[in-house]
Amino acid sequence: MEIPFTVKPRPDTGLWNAKVGIWLFLASEVMLFGGLFSGYLFLRLGAGGEPDYFWPKDILSVPFGFFNTLILILSSVFVVVAWLQLKLRNFRKFQMWMFAVVACAFIFLVNKGFEYKSKFTHYGIKLSDNSIVEGYKLDDTIIYEGLKETTIDVARFNGQFLEKIDGETPKFFRVDSEGKAQGDAFELSVAKVQEIALEENAKLRSKHEASNKEKLEKDSEAKVIRWLPAMGIKQISLIAENEFSIKIKRKKLRKSFADSVKFRDQTSIKGTISKKTPGVYIAQVDRIDLRATDSENPETSSLVWNYLGNTSPYKTESKKVASKANHEGSGYNDEYQKSADISDAHDPKEEAEKAKMIFLGSRQEVLDNADSEEGAEFEKLLNQYVKKWKDKDGEKYESYSPILVPWDDVKLYSNFTPKWNTFYAIYFTLTGLHGLHVLIGAIVLLWFALFGKKLYDKDPEHMANRVEVGGLFWHFVDLVWIFLFPILYLM
Protein backbone atom coordinates (compact mmCIF):
# COMPACT_ATOMS: atom_id res chain seq x y z
CA MET A 1 0.00 0.00 0.00
CA GLU A 2 1.39 3.38 -0.96
CA ILE A 3 1.74 5.91 1.86
CA PRO A 4 0.19 9.24 0.82
CA PHE A 5 2.08 12.53 0.74
CA THR A 6 5.58 10.99 0.61
CA VAL A 7 6.33 12.64 -2.73
CA LYS A 8 3.43 14.91 -3.53
CA PRO A 9 2.56 17.57 -0.92
CA ARG A 10 -0.69 17.73 0.98
CA PRO A 11 -3.13 20.05 -0.79
CA ASP A 12 -4.06 21.89 2.43
CA THR A 13 -0.54 22.61 3.77
CA GLY A 14 1.68 22.27 0.71
CA LEU A 15 4.03 19.97 2.72
CA TRP A 16 4.88 16.30 2.47
CA ASN A 17 5.23 13.95 5.44
CA ALA A 18 9.02 13.96 5.73
CA LYS A 19 9.18 17.75 5.75
CA VAL A 20 6.64 17.96 8.57
CA GLY A 21 8.60 15.30 10.47
CA ILE A 22 11.96 17.06 10.10
CA TRP A 23 10.53 20.38 11.28
CA LEU A 24 9.06 18.71 14.38
CA PHE A 25 12.41 17.02 15.02
CA LEU A 26 14.30 20.30 14.57
CA ALA A 27 11.90 21.98 17.01
CA SER A 28 12.98 19.47 19.67
CA GLU A 29 16.63 20.11 18.77
CA VAL A 30 16.10 23.85 19.18
CA MET A 31 14.80 23.23 22.70
CA LEU A 32 17.78 21.00 23.49
CA PHE A 33 20.47 23.43 22.33
CA GLY A 34 18.47 26.41 23.57
CA GLY A 35 18.54 24.96 27.07
CA LEU A 36 22.27 24.27 26.86
CA PHE A 37 23.03 27.78 25.56
CA SER A 38 20.90 29.34 28.29
CA GLY A 39 22.64 27.27 30.97
CA TYR A 40 26.03 28.34 29.62
CA LEU A 41 25.08 32.02 29.64
CA PHE A 42 23.77 31.88 33.21
CA LEU A 43 26.98 30.19 34.40
CA ARG A 44 29.14 32.58 32.39
CA LEU A 45 27.45 35.71 33.73
CA GLY A 46 27.35 34.37 37.30
CA ALA A 47 31.01 33.31 37.38
CA GLY A 48 32.08 36.70 38.73
CA GLY A 49 30.43 35.95 42.05
CA GLU A 50 32.96 33.25 42.93
CA PRO A 51 35.98 34.78 44.69
CA ASP A 52 38.55 32.15 43.68
CA TYR A 53 37.29 31.33 40.18
CA PHE A 54 37.78 33.37 37.01
CA TRP A 55 36.03 32.40 33.81
CA PRO A 56 38.65 31.39 31.23
CA LYS A 57 39.07 33.89 28.41
CA ASP A 58 41.03 33.88 25.17
CA ILE A 59 41.96 30.21 25.52
CA LEU A 60 40.31 29.03 22.30
CA SER A 61 41.80 29.96 18.95
CA VAL A 62 39.47 32.48 17.29
CA PRO A 63 41.05 32.07 13.80
CA PHE A 64 40.67 28.31 14.16
CA GLY A 65 37.01 28.62 15.15
CA PHE A 66 36.37 31.16 12.41
CA PHE A 67 37.88 28.82 9.82
CA ASN A 68 35.54 26.04 10.96
CA THR A 69 32.63 28.48 10.70
CA LEU A 70 33.52 29.26 7.09
CA ILE A 71 33.84 25.54 6.33
CA LEU A 72 30.31 24.82 7.61
CA ILE A 73 28.80 27.83 5.83
CA LEU A 74 30.45 26.66 2.61
CA SER A 75 29.05 23.16 3.15
CA SER A 76 25.54 24.64 3.49
CA VAL A 77 25.96 26.29 0.10
CA PHE A 78 27.18 23.02 -1.40
CA VAL A 79 24.21 21.03 -0.08
CA VAL A 80 21.80 23.48 -1.73
CA VAL A 81 23.70 23.18 -5.03
CA ALA A 82 23.59 19.38 -4.73
CA TRP A 83 19.81 19.47 -4.20
CA LEU A 84 19.46 21.80 -7.20
CA GLN A 85 21.35 19.30 -9.39
CA LEU A 86 18.77 16.66 -8.48
CA LYS A 87 16.02 19.02 -9.50
CA LEU A 88 17.85 19.49 -12.80
CA ARG A 89 18.06 15.68 -13.08
CA ASN A 90 21.86 15.52 -13.07
CA PHE A 91 22.80 12.78 -10.61
CA ARG A 92 26.54 12.86 -11.39
CA LYS A 93 26.85 16.52 -10.46
CA PHE A 94 24.66 15.88 -7.40
CA GLN A 95 27.19 13.28 -6.25
CA MET A 96 30.10 15.65 -6.86
CA TRP A 97 28.59 18.43 -4.76
CA MET A 98 27.48 16.04 -2.04
CA PHE A 99 31.00 14.65 -1.77
CA ALA A 100 32.15 18.26 -1.34
CA VAL A 101 29.70 18.62 1.58
CA VAL A 102 31.03 15.48 3.23
CA ALA A 103 34.62 16.67 2.66
CA CYS A 104 33.79 19.92 4.47
CA ALA A 105 32.32 17.92 7.35
CA PHE A 106 35.47 15.78 7.48
CA ILE A 107 37.71 18.87 7.55
CA PHE A 108 35.59 20.36 10.34
CA LEU A 109 35.83 17.21 12.47
CA VAL A 110 39.58 16.82 11.88
CA ASN A 111 40.14 20.43 12.92
CA LYS A 112 38.03 19.89 16.01
CA GLY A 113 40.07 16.77 16.76
CA PHE A 114 43.29 18.82 16.72
CA GLU A 115 41.67 21.35 19.04
CA TYR A 116 40.60 18.58 21.43
CA LYS A 117 44.10 17.09 21.36
CA SER A 118 45.61 20.40 22.44
CA LYS A 119 43.32 20.37 25.49
CA PHE A 120 44.19 16.78 26.38
CA THR A 121 47.94 17.53 26.29
CA HIS A 122 47.78 20.86 28.16
CA TYR A 123 47.82 20.60 31.96
CA GLY A 124 47.23 22.80 34.96
CA ILE A 125 48.09 22.61 38.66
CA LYS A 126 46.11 24.58 41.22
CA LEU A 127 48.21 25.18 44.31
CA SER A 128 46.95 25.42 47.89
CA ASP A 129 47.08 29.25 47.78
CA ASN A 130 44.79 29.13 44.67
CA SER A 131 47.57 30.14 42.28
CA ILE A 132 47.62 28.22 38.99
CA VAL A 133 50.39 27.10 36.66
CA GLU A 134 49.78 25.69 33.21
CA GLY A 135 52.08 23.84 30.86
CA TYR A 136 52.98 20.66 29.03
CA LYS A 137 54.27 17.16 29.86
CA LEU A 138 52.87 16.53 33.33
CA ASP A 139 54.26 13.70 35.43
CA ASP A 140 52.33 12.54 38.50
CA THR A 141 54.26 9.32 39.04
CA ILE A 142 54.16 8.30 42.67
CA ILE A 143 56.29 5.69 44.43
CA TYR A 144 55.18 3.97 47.63
CA GLU A 145 57.82 2.12 49.58
CA GLY A 146 57.92 -0.05 52.69
CA LEU A 147 54.80 -1.89 51.51
CA LYS A 148 53.97 -5.15 53.24
CA GLU A 149 50.44 -5.44 54.69
CA THR A 150 47.82 -5.96 51.97
CA THR A 151 44.04 -6.18 52.07
CA ILE A 152 42.35 -7.57 48.96
CA ASP A 153 38.72 -7.29 47.89
CA VAL A 154 37.99 -10.82 46.65
CA ALA A 155 35.28 -9.89 44.13
CA ARG A 156 37.18 -7.01 42.49
CA PHE A 157 40.82 -8.04 42.66
CA ASN A 158 42.47 -7.85 39.23
CA GLY A 159 46.16 -7.96 40.13
CA GLN A 160 46.84 -4.34 39.11
CA PHE A 161 49.27 -3.60 41.93
CA LEU A 162 51.35 -6.70 41.06
CA GLU A 163 52.07 -5.20 37.64
CA LYS A 164 53.26 -1.94 39.23
CA ILE A 165 55.72 -3.44 41.70
CA ASP A 166 59.13 -1.83 41.25
CA GLY A 167 61.66 -4.64 41.34
CA GLU A 168 61.16 -8.28 42.28
CA THR A 169 57.65 -9.37 43.24
CA PRO A 170 57.64 -10.89 46.73
CA LYS A 171 55.72 -13.92 47.92
CA PHE A 172 52.84 -13.52 50.38
CA PHE A 173 51.53 -15.21 53.53
CA ARG A 174 47.98 -15.49 54.83
CA VAL A 175 47.34 -13.52 58.01
CA ASP A 176 45.48 -14.82 61.07
CA SER A 177 43.15 -12.83 63.33
CA GLU A 178 46.12 -11.52 65.32
CA GLY A 179 47.89 -10.25 62.21
CA LYS A 180 50.58 -12.93 62.21
CA ALA A 181 51.75 -14.80 59.11
CA GLN A 182 50.54 -18.38 58.79
CA GLY A 183 51.17 -21.22 56.36
CA ASP A 184 53.63 -21.26 53.50
CA ALA A 185 54.50 -18.31 51.30
CA PHE A 186 52.88 -18.32 47.85
CA GLU A 187 52.97 -16.33 44.64
CA LEU A 188 50.00 -13.97 44.50
CA SER A 189 47.71 -13.95 41.46
CA VAL A 190 44.03 -13.54 40.62
CA ALA A 191 43.68 -17.33 40.39
CA LYS A 192 45.30 -17.78 43.81
CA VAL A 193 42.91 -15.26 45.39
CA GLN A 194 39.93 -17.12 43.92
CA GLU A 195 41.38 -20.40 45.20
CA ILE A 196 41.71 -18.97 48.73
CA ALA A 197 38.18 -17.54 48.51
CA LEU A 198 36.74 -20.95 47.51
CA GLU A 199 38.60 -22.62 50.36
CA GLU A 200 37.40 -20.05 52.93
CA ASN A 201 33.84 -20.08 51.62
CA ALA A 202 33.75 -23.88 51.92
CA LYS A 203 34.79 -23.57 55.57
CA LEU A 204 32.21 -20.86 56.25
CA ARG A 205 29.48 -22.86 54.53
CA SER A 206 30.29 -26.00 56.52
CA LYS A 207 30.21 -23.96 59.73
CA HIS A 208 26.90 -22.39 58.69
CA GLU A 209 25.31 -25.76 57.88
CA ALA A 210 26.57 -27.23 61.17
CA SER A 211 24.91 -24.31 62.97
CA ASN A 212 21.62 -25.00 61.16
CA LYS A 213 21.83 -28.68 62.04
CA GLU A 214 22.43 -27.83 65.70
CA LYS A 215 19.35 -25.58 65.71
CA LEU A 216 17.17 -28.30 64.23
CA GLU A 217 18.38 -30.81 66.80
CA LYS A 218 17.34 -28.48 69.59
CA ASP A 219 14.09 -27.40 67.92
CA SER A 220 12.67 -29.23 64.90
CA GLU A 221 10.58 -26.16 64.00
CA ALA A 222 13.48 -23.72 64.20
CA LYS A 223 13.89 -21.35 61.27
CA VAL A 224 16.82 -22.38 59.06
CA ILE A 225 18.75 -19.74 57.14
CA ARG A 226 20.04 -21.12 53.87
CA TRP A 227 23.55 -20.35 52.65
CA LEU A 228 23.86 -17.42 50.22
CA PRO A 229 26.92 -16.35 48.20
CA ALA A 230 26.74 -12.93 49.90
CA MET A 231 27.64 -14.66 53.18
CA GLY A 232 31.02 -15.64 51.75
CA ILE A 233 34.39 -14.04 52.42
CA LYS A 234 34.68 -10.41 51.30
CA GLN A 235 38.32 -9.56 51.97
CA ILE A 236 41.61 -11.38 52.41
CA SER A 237 44.49 -10.01 54.49
CA LEU A 238 48.02 -10.87 53.37
CA ILE A 239 51.53 -9.94 54.40
CA ALA A 240 54.51 -9.85 52.04
CA GLU A 241 57.58 -11.97 52.68
CA ASN A 242 59.73 -8.88 52.02
CA GLU A 243 58.95 -5.17 51.83
CA PHE A 244 58.38 -3.91 48.30
CA SER A 245 57.63 -0.67 46.46
CA ILE A 246 55.28 0.27 43.65
CA LYS A 247 55.52 2.95 40.97
CA ILE A 248 52.32 4.17 39.32
CA LYS A 249 50.62 7.25 37.91
CA ARG A 250 48.60 8.75 40.73
CA LYS A 251 45.55 9.29 38.52
CA LYS A 252 45.33 5.49 38.13
CA LEU A 253 44.89 5.06 41.89
CA ARG A 254 41.57 5.20 43.69
CA LYS A 255 43.01 6.92 46.76
CA SER A 256 46.49 7.81 47.99
CA PHE A 257 47.30 8.65 51.58
CA ALA A 258 50.50 9.42 53.44
CA ASP A 259 50.54 5.96 55.06
CA SER A 260 48.63 3.78 52.58
CA VAL A 261 47.46 3.44 49.01
CA LYS A 262 44.21 2.11 47.55
CA PHE A 263 43.87 0.81 43.99
CA ARG A 264 40.77 0.92 41.80
CA ASP A 265 40.08 -2.74 42.48
CA GLN A 266 39.84 -1.84 46.21
CA THR A 267 43.19 -3.42 47.07
CA SER A 268 44.65 -1.51 50.04
CA ILE A 269 48.35 -1.60 51.01
CA LYS A 270 50.09 0.09 53.93
CA GLY A 271 53.25 2.03 53.13
CA THR A 272 54.74 5.51 52.79
CA ILE A 273 55.28 7.87 49.87
CA SER A 274 58.89 7.74 48.73
CA LYS A 275 61.01 10.88 48.78
CA LYS A 276 61.74 10.11 45.14
CA THR A 277 58.23 11.31 44.23
CA PRO A 278 57.60 14.51 46.17
CA GLY A 279 54.88 16.01 43.96
CA VAL A 280 53.36 16.83 40.57
CA TYR A 281 55.80 17.88 37.87
CA ILE A 282 55.26 19.98 34.72
CA ALA A 283 58.25 19.97 32.39
CA GLN A 284 57.50 23.29 30.69
CA VAL A 285 55.35 26.04 32.20
CA ASP A 286 53.72 28.39 29.72
CA ARG A 287 51.26 30.39 31.86
CA ILE A 288 51.03 31.57 35.46
CA ASP A 289 47.70 32.76 36.90
CA LEU A 290 47.82 34.46 40.31
CA ARG A 291 44.42 36.20 40.21
CA ALA A 292 42.84 34.04 42.90
CA THR A 293 45.90 33.56 45.10
CA ASP A 294 45.65 34.13 48.86
CA SER A 295 49.06 35.82 48.97
CA GLU A 296 49.09 39.51 49.90
CA ASN A 297 51.72 40.25 47.21
CA PRO A 298 51.22 37.39 44.72
CA GLU A 299 53.70 38.80 42.20
CA THR A 300 56.50 38.20 44.71
CA SER A 301 55.27 35.85 47.48
CA SER A 302 53.02 33.28 45.77
CA LEU A 303 53.84 29.61 46.26
CA VAL A 304 54.51 29.38 42.51
CA TRP A 305 57.82 31.21 42.91
CA ASN A 306 58.92 28.76 45.61
CA TYR A 307 58.57 25.75 43.32
CA LEU A 308 59.27 27.16 39.86
CA GLY A 309 62.55 25.74 38.58
CA ASN A 310 62.41 22.60 40.72
CA THR A 311 63.29 19.58 38.61
CA SER A 312 61.98 16.04 38.51
CA PRO A 313 63.62 13.69 41.02
CA TYR A 314 64.35 11.39 38.09
CA LYS A 315 66.89 13.82 36.67
CA THR A 316 70.41 13.44 38.02
CA GLU A 317 72.36 16.52 39.00
CA SER A 318 75.26 15.66 36.74
CA LYS A 319 74.52 16.20 33.04
CA LYS A 320 77.12 13.58 32.09
CA VAL A 321 75.55 10.99 34.38
CA ALA A 322 72.10 11.78 33.07
CA SER A 323 73.23 11.44 29.48
CA LYS A 324 75.08 8.20 30.24
CA ALA A 325 72.08 6.74 32.06
CA ASN A 326 69.88 7.67 29.15
CA HIS A 327 72.09 5.81 26.71
CA GLU A 328 72.51 2.81 28.96
CA GLY A 329 68.75 2.60 29.49
CA SER A 330 68.48 2.10 33.22
CA GLY A 331 66.93 3.67 36.32
CA TYR A 332 64.67 6.65 36.75
CA ASN A 333 66.76 8.83 34.42
CA ASP A 334 65.20 7.15 31.38
CA GLU A 335 61.81 7.93 32.87
CA TYR A 336 62.74 11.59 33.08
CA GLN A 337 64.23 11.81 29.60
CA LYS A 338 61.07 10.37 28.06
CA SER A 339 58.72 12.72 29.91
CA ALA A 340 60.67 15.97 30.05
CA ASP A 341 60.83 18.72 27.47
CA ILE A 342 63.98 20.42 28.68
CA SER A 343 67.39 19.61 27.25
CA ASP A 344 70.69 19.95 29.05
CA ALA A 345 71.11 23.34 27.38
CA HIS A 346 68.57 24.89 29.77
CA ASP A 347 69.33 25.32 33.44
CA PRO A 348 66.03 25.00 35.38
CA LYS A 349 66.87 27.70 37.95
CA GLU A 350 67.90 30.17 35.25
CA GLU A 351 64.75 29.37 33.29
CA ALA A 352 62.67 30.00 36.43
CA GLU A 353 64.27 33.44 36.78
CA LYS A 354 63.49 34.17 33.12
CA ALA A 355 59.86 33.09 33.61
CA LYS A 356 59.51 35.37 36.64
CA MET A 357 61.12 38.25 34.75
CA ILE A 358 58.70 37.73 31.83
CA PHE A 359 55.74 37.62 34.24
CA LEU A 360 56.76 40.78 36.10
CA GLY A 361 57.77 42.55 32.88
CA SER A 362 54.43 41.79 31.25
CA ARG A 363 52.68 42.95 34.41
CA GLN A 364 54.64 46.20 34.38
CA GLU A 365 53.62 46.75 30.76
CA VAL A 366 49.98 46.60 31.79
CA LEU A 367 50.64 49.16 34.56
CA ASP A 368 52.58 51.45 32.19
CA ASN A 369 49.77 51.38 29.65
CA ALA A 370 47.17 52.23 32.29
CA ASP A 371 46.54 55.80 33.46
CA SER A 372 47.07 54.69 37.05
CA GLU A 373 47.59 51.49 39.02
CA GLU A 374 43.88 51.48 39.87
CA GLY A 375 43.08 51.79 36.17
CA ALA A 376 45.00 48.67 35.19
CA GLU A 377 42.97 45.63 34.22
CA PHE A 378 43.11 43.11 37.05
CA GLU A 379 42.56 40.27 34.55
CA LYS A 380 45.85 41.14 32.84
CA LEU A 381 47.93 42.04 35.88
CA LEU A 382 48.21 38.59 37.42
CA ASN A 383 47.57 36.24 34.49
CA GLN A 384 50.53 36.09 32.15
CA TYR A 385 51.96 33.89 29.41
CA VAL A 386 55.58 33.25 30.43
CA LYS A 387 56.98 31.21 27.55
CA LYS A 388 57.78 34.11 25.20
CA TRP A 389 57.89 37.89 25.59
CA LYS A 390 59.32 40.91 23.82
CA ASP A 391 60.00 44.01 25.91
CA LYS A 392 59.49 47.60 24.77
CA ASP A 393 63.10 47.74 23.57
CA GLY A 394 62.39 44.88 21.19
CA GLU A 395 64.47 42.28 23.05
CA LYS A 396 62.97 38.79 22.96
CA TYR A 397 62.89 36.47 25.96
CA GLU A 398 61.98 32.79 26.14
CA SER A 399 61.67 30.55 29.19
CA TYR A 400 61.63 26.78 29.51
CA SER A 401 60.95 26.57 33.21
CA PRO A 402 59.78 23.38 34.92
CA ILE A 403 57.86 23.24 38.20
CA LEU A 404 57.57 20.57 40.86
CA VAL A 405 54.73 21.15 43.34
CA PRO A 406 54.80 19.07 46.56
CA TRP A 407 51.74 16.89 47.11
CA ASP A 408 50.81 18.88 50.22
CA ASP A 409 50.41 22.03 48.12
CA VAL A 410 48.57 20.44 45.20
CA LYS A 411 44.89 21.37 45.39
CA LEU A 412 43.93 20.10 41.93
CA TYR A 413 45.71 19.01 38.79
CA SER A 414 44.35 17.87 35.44
CA ASN A 415 44.59 18.30 31.71
CA PHE A 416 42.10 20.75 30.20
CA THR A 417 39.08 18.48 30.38
CA PRO A 418 35.76 18.80 32.30
CA LYS A 419 37.59 18.01 35.55
CA TRP A 420 39.66 21.19 35.30
CA ASN A 421 36.87 23.77 35.43
CA THR A 422 33.25 24.56 34.54
CA PHE A 423 34.12 26.14 31.21
CA TYR A 424 35.71 22.98 29.85
CA ALA A 425 32.80 20.87 31.08
CA ILE A 426 30.42 23.03 29.02
CA TYR A 427 32.85 23.35 26.11
CA PHE A 428 33.18 19.59 25.65
CA THR A 429 29.44 19.05 26.16
CA LEU A 430 28.37 21.61 23.57
CA THR A 431 31.05 21.01 20.95
CA GLY A 432 30.95 17.23 21.45
CA LEU A 433 27.17 17.12 20.97
CA HIS A 434 27.44 19.38 17.94
CA GLY A 435 30.26 17.26 16.51
CA LEU A 436 28.07 14.17 16.88
CA HIS A 437 25.35 15.93 14.86
CA VAL A 438 27.91 16.82 12.18
CA LEU A 439 29.08 13.20 11.99
CA ILE A 440 25.53 11.77 11.77
CA GLY A 441 24.48 14.36 9.19
CA ALA A 442 27.56 13.68 7.08
CA ILE A 443 26.90 9.91 7.16
CA VAL A 444 23.29 10.42 5.97
CA LEU A 445 24.32 12.77 3.15
CA LEU A 446 27.12 10.41 2.11
CA TRP A 447 24.59 7.57 1.98
CA PHE A 448 22.49 9.60 -0.46
CA ALA A 449 25.53 10.16 -2.68
CA LEU A 450 26.70 6.53 -2.63
CA PHE A 451 23.44 4.55 -2.59
CA GLY A 452 20.78 6.98 -3.82
CA LYS A 453 21.01 6.03 -7.51
CA LYS A 454 18.42 3.27 -7.21
CA LEU A 455 15.81 5.58 -5.69
CA TYR A 456 16.74 8.31 -8.15
CA ASP A 457 16.14 6.03 -11.14
CA LYS A 458 12.82 4.92 -9.65
CA ASP A 459 11.49 8.35 -8.59
CA PRO A 460 13.86 11.36 -8.88
CA GLU A 461 11.38 13.68 -7.15
CA HIS A 462 11.19 11.41 -4.11
CA MET A 463 15.00 11.39 -4.01
CA ALA A 464 15.07 15.20 -4.19
CA ASN A 465 12.61 15.39 -1.29
CA ARG A 466 14.79 13.15 0.86
CA VAL A 467 17.88 15.21 0.11
CA GLU A 468 15.96 18.39 0.96
CA VAL A 469 15.07 16.95 4.36
CA GLY A 470 18.71 16.00 4.93
CA GLY A 471 19.71 19.49 3.83
CA LEU A 472 17.36 21.07 6.38
CA PHE A 473 19.07 19.09 9.14
CA TRP A 474 22.46 20.14 7.80
CA HIS A 475 21.45 23.82 7.80
CA PHE A 476 20.37 23.45 11.44
CA VAL A 477 23.75 21.94 12.35
CA ASP A 478 25.47 24.91 10.70
CA LEU A 479 23.19 27.36 12.50
CA VAL A 480 24.03 25.80 15.89
CA TRP A 481 27.73 26.35 15.22
CA ILE A 482 27.10 29.97 14.27
CA PHE A 483 25.74 30.41 17.81
CA LEU A 484 28.45 28.26 19.40
CA PHE A 485 31.32 30.17 17.85
CA PRO A 486 30.64 33.60 19.42
CA ILE A 487 29.60 32.38 22.89
CA LEU A 488 32.53 29.98 23.30
CA TYR A 489 35.30 31.67 21.32
CA LEU A 490 34.49 35.38 21.60
CA MET A 491 32.77 35.90 24.97
Q: The pTM is what?
A: 0.77
* Mean predicted lDDT score pLDDT of the chain: 84
Query: pLDDT at residue 170 above 80?
Result: yes
Per-residue DSSP letters for 152-182?
A: EETTT---HHHHTBSSSPPPEEEE-TTS-EE
Report the helix count and the strand count for the chain, using DSSP H and E. Answer: 14, 16
Name the DSSP class of 407.
G
Contacts of 265 (CB under 8 A, 6+ apart): 153, 156, 157, 158, 160
Q: Are 34 and 483 in contact (CB under 8 A)?
A: no
Model pLDDT for residues 410-450, shown as the tens digit of each residue: 999 999 999 998 889 999 999 999 999 999 999 999 999 99
Separation CA 435–CA 427 (nearest Å) = 12
Beta strands at 268-270 and 141-153: parallel, antiparallel or unpaired: antiparallel
Question: Sorting pLDDT into bands at 50, 70 and 90, what band is 233?
Answer: confident
Question: Sorting pLDDT into bands at 50, 70 and 90, what band is 75?
Answer: very high
Of 166-175, 234-243, 327-336, 410-419, the poorest mean pLDDT is in 327-336
Q: Give the pLDDT of residue 336.
A: 37
Separation CA 471–CA 21 (nearest Å) = 14
Query: pLDDT at residue 2 above 80?
Result: no
Separation CA 28–CA 55 (nearest Å) = 30
pLDDT exceeding 70 applies to what percent of the chain? Answer: 88
Query: pLDDT at residue 23 above 70?
Result: yes
Query: pLDDT at residue 68 above 90?
Result: yes
Query: pLDDT at residue 125 above 80?
Result: yes
Question: Sorting pLDDT into bands at 50, 70 and 90, what band is 372?
Answer: low
Separation CA 248–CA 144 (nearest Å) = 9
b/e string for 309-348 if b means 16 or more Cβ within 10 A?
bbbbbbbbeeeeebeebbeeeeebbbbbbeebebeeebeb
> 10 Å Cβ neighbour count for 73?
14
Q: Give the pLDDT of residue 13.
A: 61
Average pLDDT over every residue of 31-42: 90
* The Cα angle at residue 39 between residues 415 and 115, in degrees rounded to 5: 35
Q: Are 318 and 326 in contact (CB under 8 A)?
A: no
Average pLDDT over every residue of 6-25: 71
Pick the CATH number of 17-121+420-490 from 1.10.1750.10, 1.20.120.80, 3.40.50.1010, 1.10.1050.10: 1.20.120.80
Average pLDDT over every residue of 199-212: 87
Separation CA 37–CA 485 (nearest Å) = 12
Q: How many residues does the chain have?
A: 491
Domain ranges (residues) in the chain: 17-121+420-490, 126-140+279-415, 142-273
Separation CA 365–CA 382 (nearest Å) = 12
Q: How far is CA 402 from CA 131, 249, 280, 319, in A?
A: 16, 19, 11, 17
Per-residue DSSP letters for 256-319?
A: E-SSEEEETT--EEE-EE-TT--EEEEEEEEEEE-TT---SSHHHHSHHHHHBTPPPTTS-S-H
Query: pLDDT at residue 402 above 60?
Result: yes
Q: Give the pLDDT of residue 370.
A: 77
Q: For 408, how many CA atoms within 13 A lie in the half-sphere containing its CB?
A: 5
Q: Give the pLDDT of residue 291.
A: 87
Average pLDDT over every residue of 387-397: 87
Model pLDDT for residues 83-94, shown as the tens digit of each residue: 999 999 999 999
Average pLDDT over every residue of 37-66: 82
